Amino acid sequence: MVRAKILANISVSVGLDQLARDRDNPLYTLSPKNKLDNNIFLKLTIYDQEDIENYRTHSQRHKANSVTVRYPKESDEGDESFDLHDLCDGVHRLTFEVGSSAKPCQGALPNSITDLCMTKANGLEILIDQFFVSKVISTLPTSTSIQSLTLPKEYRFTSRFVVPSSLVTLNYESVYDSLQWLVVSPGQVLNNCTIDIKSIEDFVWLEKNIWITCVALRQQVCDIVPNLIPQHVSKVEIEYDNAEIQEGTLPKMLQALICYNEIFFPKPVLPLSLKHVELKKYPRKLEKDILPAGIQHLLLCGFNETLEPDVLPSSLTKLLMYDYDQVLHPFVLPQGITELNLFRYKQPTFLSHSLPAALVKLEIQIFQGSFDSLGALDNLRHLAVFAIDDSLSILLANVKKLKLWTSLGFRSGSLYDTSIEDLYIYSYQRMAIASPTLLPQHLKRLKAIGFDINKDILPPGCKLAR
* Predicted confidence (pLDDT) per residue in 62-77, tens digit: 888 899 998 655 555 5
* pLDDT number for residue 169: 97
Q: For the chain, what percentages of helix, strand and coil (3-state, to nearest 5) are there?
A: 15, 25, 60
Cα–Cα separations (whole angstroms), residue 463 to 383, 427, 445, 448: 22, 19, 5, 11
End-to-end CA distance of the chain: 28
Please say if the pLDDT value at position 125 is more than 80.
no
Residue 78 lies in a domain: yes
Query: In sequence order, what are the beta bridge partners of 244?
Result: 264
Residue 277 lies in a domain: no
Q: What is the mean pLDDT of residues 304-322?
A: 95
Distance CA 386, CA 406 (A): 5
C-beta atoms surrounding 89 within 10 Å: 10
* pLDDT number for residue 365: 93
Residue 290 lies in a domain: no
Quick one: pLDDT band at residue 222, thresholds 50, 70, 90?
very high
Quick one: pLDDT band at residue 183, thresholds 50, 70, 90?
very high
Domain count, the chain: 1
Candidate from 6-15, 193-202, 272-281, 342-351 with smallest mean pLDDT: 6-15
Distance CA 41, CA 107 (A): 24
Please say if the pLDDT value at position 84 is more than 70.
yes
Distance CA 354, CA 44 (A): 44
> Which pairs from 230-234 meet CB under 8 Å and 24+ separation?
230/203, 230/206, 233/206
* pLDDT number for residue 49: 83
Number of H helices, E strands in the chain: 8, 27
Please say if the pLDDT value at position 230 is more than 90.
yes
Please say if the pLDDT value at position 322 is more than 60.
yes
Say whether 78 sits in a helix, a strand or coil.
coil
* Predicted confidence (pLDDT) per residue in 408-460, tens digit: 888 888 899 999 999 999 999 998 888 888 999 999 999 999 998 888 888 88
Cβ atoms 426, 404 nearer than 8 A: yes
Residue 229 lies in a domain: no
Residue 224 lies in a domain: no
Residue 41 lies in a domain: yes
218 burial level (CB within 10 Å; 0-12, 13-18, 19+)? middle
Q: What is the mean pLDDT of residues 300-316?
A: 94
* pLDDT number for residue 143: 60
Q: Model-level pTM? A: 0.89
Please say if the pLDDT value at position 4 is more than 70.
no
Question: Domain range for residue 27?
Answer: 1-155
**Buried b / exposed e across 155-191, counting CB within 10 Å, b at 16+?**
bebeeebebbebbebbbbbbbbebbeebebeeeebbe
Quick one: pLDDT band at residue 3, thresholds 50, 70, 90?
low
How confident is the prediction for the chain on average, in pLDDT?
89
* pLDDT number for residue 233: 97
| 428, 431, 436, 442: CA torsion to nearest 10 | 10
* Predicted confidence (pLDDT) per residue in 381-394, tens digit: 999 999 998 889 99
Please say if the pLDDT value at position 403 is more than 90.
yes
Short-list 10, 48, 15, 49, CA closest to 27: 10
Cβ atoms 366, 347 nearer than 8 A: no
* pLDDT number for residue 151: 96
Short-list 4, 180, 175, 11, CA closest to 95: 11
Say whether 44 sits in a helix, a strand or coil.
strand
Q: How are beta strands 235-238 and 190-196 bridged, if at all?
A: unpaired
* pLDDT number for residue 296: 98
* pLDDT number for residue 431: 87
Task: Say what percent of the chain tops pLDDT 70.
Answer: 94
Residue 51 lies in a domain: yes
Distance CA 73, CA 413 (A): 50
* Predicted confidence (pLDDT) per residue in 14-25, tens digit: 888 887 777 777
* pLDDT number for residue 217: 97
Residue 75 lies in a domain: yes
